[in-house]
Structure 1
Amino acid sequence: MKKNLSIIILAAGAGTRMKSSLPKVLHKISGKPMLYYSILESLKLSDDVTVVLYHQASLVQKSMESYFKEEVDTGKITFVIQDHKNYPGTGGAVMGITPKHEKTLVLNADMPLIQASELEKFESDAVIVMSVLELESADGYGRVVIENGSVVKIVEQKDASESELSICTANAGIYQFETQFLLQNLPKLNNNNAQKEYYITDLVEMAINANLSLKPLIVSEENFKGVNSKVELSQAEVIHQNRIKHEFLKAGVIMRLPDTIYIEHGVEIEGESVLENGVTLLENAKIINSHIKTNSMVQDSVIENSDVGPMARIRPGSYLKNTHIGNFVETKKAHLTGVKAGHLSYLGDCEINEGTNIGCGTITCNYDGINKHKTIIGKNVFVGSDTQLVAPVTIEDDVLIAAGSTITRNVHKGSLAITRAPLKIIAGYFYKFFGKKQ
């Protein structure tokens, strides 16, 4: 962590190009809002992070506090609501903030691919360090004129001369300022422009006119990619997903057709694990030495020394150890140890112990319309196909449950439980019913 660095994150915009009622910075990439990543990377470098809000400020702040409660409580993160009416624009957003440290890095919250390792490169004695992109074509960007390793001019595309339009060095929009310079010059900004906004880029012009040191930092276009539309959101998520999967692949995870796999930020995978094509891992799923088969989903659950799927769904709160889950099996808050559930079953709010076999079509009837209830199944229980276990209910060890049974009471150790109506056969009824001759 840099002890001399404060960070300001600009997160005030509505993001109209997203065409959404949700604030732009709360649109998610790999399961987390874009702003989450800007804050996460900033905290790796600074203990003084200020997030500037305006559009739906309370919603954005509440969302971020749910992820960073400790950092908010300890003062590492501060939220400031921008005076957008009187001081609009990027320069206006920074006014009124007093950073604690000698240097201040100003970030945009719509750059979710930024990494702390890139932001560390802004280290310099210059009054301003500004990020620039070296592009094949800088069309659509403001141009940056560099001479002898220093920035001598920045110009918006609409104001650029023909020779300036040929420049392929573009402004990436991230700046590090000497804090003293920032505080002294912010009050000098004006809004004498077509948009009637206060621009942070005017500080760059002030530094140039005062012959102060202003250094460019060439940065990666991928890491500094801005997200202003849902098209760009999807493009950024592909990049982010590839980063996540690349790290797991390097750690030894086997992936079949990794481009078809989706893994959210916060997922853990350990040991000799295999992910087949179409697998989805959500929230804080943890996979340990396990095989997740085609088109299965694991959400906020732990899978250890087990195999799941194909086409299984492991819902939040499940813990599976030494267990086989087959196709079309769904679990929710299910703790299974040494269990086999081969196909077409729902196991919710239950504990099932080793050696137990769950037959096809078994359902734990855990919800009575008002409350959820628990099913407990002991060791070495054989549950026949098409069984309904009406919770709350306990099945002790060494029990046999006949196929087609509905279990509404506890079953003691060593018992057979069976609830079947006697089979009744009426000879010749087919012909009578349909009016046909034998």
Structure 2
Amino acid sequence: MQATHRPLALIVLAAGAGTRMNSDLPKPLHPLGCAPLVAHTIAAGAALEPSRLIVVTGHGAEQVEAALQDIAPEAVAVRQAPQLGTGHAVLQAADALKDFDGDAMVLYGDSPFFTPETLQAMRIARTAHDVVMLGFRPTDPGRYGRMVMDGDILQKIVEFKDATEQERKITFCNSGVLCADAATLMSLLTQITNDNAAGEYYLTDIPELAGNAGLTATAIACDEAETIGINSRAELAHAEAQFQSQRRAELIEVGVTMQAPDTVHFALDTHIGRDAVIEPYVVFGPNVTVESGAHIRAFSHLEGCHVSAGAIVGPYARLRPGAEIGNDAKIGNFVEVKNAEIAEGAKVNHLSYIGDASIGERANIGAGTVTCNYDGVMKHRTTIGADAFIGSDTMLVAPVTVGTRAMTASGSTITDDIPDGALAIGRAKQVNKPGLAVKLRDRLKAIKAAKSKD
């Protein structure tokens, strides 16, 4: 048998209609942990460093293939039309594998929980057998396909609807995941028939066909939790709970402190360093990295951002895509940052919007500051130098630059660049009109009274 260093091709089946989802969105694209289901499958397989990735599409093929450009641009998409079963689906990859010398592993775009460790165990088992299937022992075998074993030899897999009463008593069930030499797999697939209760071409016929050809098949076991497939909204919600529970446990294990883990929600690609502290009710969207020792306070939402070591974010902060928070910087309550760099030691403590901006080291941004970055057509950038002080309620009308150690007076609207060390005052002169407030209030009351009589 070949060693595990053989090249590997992943074949991901993502052609199903998912009618029970009751959705216009193809099932493989429904989000789990802020990423499409199929992205989870691809991520697990990617840990094996495959040399080729083939995704079989069908229902909603255009949408799935467009999403693959972001998820895995290297993927080769092949279409299954019509959908005639799992065996027929895998056979659609034949042309994409005709020049491939290595193993093929079949995964499923609606089964997001198979671990790299389990998949690697299948590759190791391939060193002793021609075909390796993945099985599990569920609490309730129900209508799962049964795996008929003779010692370590897998004789056949029987779908529940085709099984005898004796076969239905078997508790070792089929997950559908398969690993075999690619050329051997394609050869066996051409022998599959649809002579069964569903009239479909089953991938599960492969072990028996392998035995008939003088090849050996086996099955290894994994935990039932890995085998969960998503076929309905209820199952998707259950899977989301399982995903979040797993991510929380993983992060706690690597040294992240969470005061109320069940209230914190993560994305598939969330990365958090050890000794970071995550307070309750924090939501991590896609593409977030939080470095060691950072502190994310309660009720904050982060997406597409990077928080450096020792930084403090929140409570009630929102970091949007492109936010880069430097070491020991502080983003306070009700602050929104988008496409902006907040340098080391800078502070944006409260009630501010910082968008399309660069904030220098140790700069202090007063409450109510807004970088006015959008003119209705284009975005413009604000640059604030190191050690600058921005007074409360300053409107910075971009494009504008505030120099090093410069200041703005509270309530200013800044439309011109401020030199280093200068103080800018951009507000109208205050004028007091004695007694005018009383006269104006009396007049308004009279107008209101007259309207009420009418």
For 1:394 and 1:133, the matched residues in 2 are separated by: 63
1:371-406 residue CA offsets vs partner (Å, 9 max, x unmatched): 111122223333332221211222223433232222
Query: In 1, are the aligned partners of 2:409 and 2:423 still within 8 Å (CA)?
Result: no
- Deviation of 1:30 (Å): 1.8
Q: Residues 340 and 136 of structure 1: is their aligned pair in 2 closer, same or farther, counting only changes over 3 Å?
A: closer
Query: In 2, are the aligned partners of 1:6 and 1:101 still within 8 Å (CA)?
Result: no
For 2:409 and 2:178, the matched residues in 1 are separated by: 71
Query: In 2, are the aligned partners of 1:324 and 1:339 still within 8 Å (CA)?
Result: yes
For 2:34 and 2:169, the matched residues in 1 are separated by: 40
Between stretches 172-181 and 346-355, larger displacement belongs to: 172-181
For 2:200 and 2:55, the matched residues in 1 are separated by: 20
Query: Does 2:90 match 1:94?
Result: yes
In structure 2, the partner of 1:67 is: 71
Query: Does 2:21 match 1:15?
Result: no
Say which SS state the counterpart of residue 373 (structure 1) adopts. Answer: coil
Say which SS state the counterpart of residue 196 (structure 1) adopts. Answer: coil
In structure 2, the partner of 1:78 is: 76
Task: Select 2:445's aligned residue among 429, 434, 437.
Answer: 434
- Deviation of 1:108 (Å): 1.8
In structure 2, the partner of 1:34 is: 37
Query: Does 2:324 match 1:328?
Result: no
Task: Select 2:185's aligned residue among 182, 185, 199.
Answer: 182
1:248-269 residue CA offsets vs partner (Å, 9 max, x unmatched): 2222221121121122222332
- Deviation of 1:135 (Å): 2.1
Query: Does 2:280 match 1:255?
Result: no
- Deviation of 1:206 (Å): 3.0
Determine what percentage of the aligned residue pairs are the same residue.
Answer: 36
Q: Residue type matched to 2:325 in 1?
A: L
For 2:77 and 2:255, the matched residues in 1 are separated by: 40
- Deviation of 1:179 (Å): 4.2
In structure 2, the partner of 1:144 is: 147
Unaligned runs of 5+ in 1: none
Q: Residues 425 and 143 of structure 1: is their aligned pair in 2 closer, same or farther, counting only changes over 3 Å?
A: same
In structure 2, the partner of 1:307 is: 312
1:157-213 residue CA offsets vs partner (Å, 9 max, x unmatched): 233344433332222112233445433332222223454321222333434556753
Q: Residues 95 and 388 of structure 1: is their aligned pair in 2 closer, same or farther, counting only changes over 3 Å?
A: same
Unaligned runs of 5+ in 2: 448-454
Between stretches 40-49 and 282-291, larger displacement belongs to: 40-49
- Deviation of 1:153 (Å): 4.5
In structure 2, the partner of 1:424 is: 432
For 1:154 and 1:319, the matched residues in 2 are separated by: 53
For 2:188 and 2:330, the matched residues in 1 are separated by: 65
What TM-score does the superposition give when structure 1 sets the normalisation length?
A: 0.89
In structure 2, the partner of 1:298 is: 302
Q: Residues 193 and 300 of structure 1: is their aligned pair in 2 closer, same or farther, counting only changes over 3 Å?
A: same
In structure 1, the partner of 2:450 is: none
Say which SS state the counterpart of residue 195 (structure 2) adopts. Answer: coil
Q: Residues 4 and 402 of structure 1: is their aligned pair in 2 closer, same or farther, counting only changes over 3 Å?
A: closer
Task: Select 1:54's aligned residue among 39, 54, 58.
Answer: 58
In structure 1, the partner of 2:368 is: 361
Q: Residues 354 and 423 of structure 1: is their aligned pair in 2 closer, same or farther, counting only changes over 3 Å?
A: farther
Q: Residues 54 and 397 of structure 1: is their aligned pair in 2 closer, same or farther, counting only changes over 3 Å?
A: same
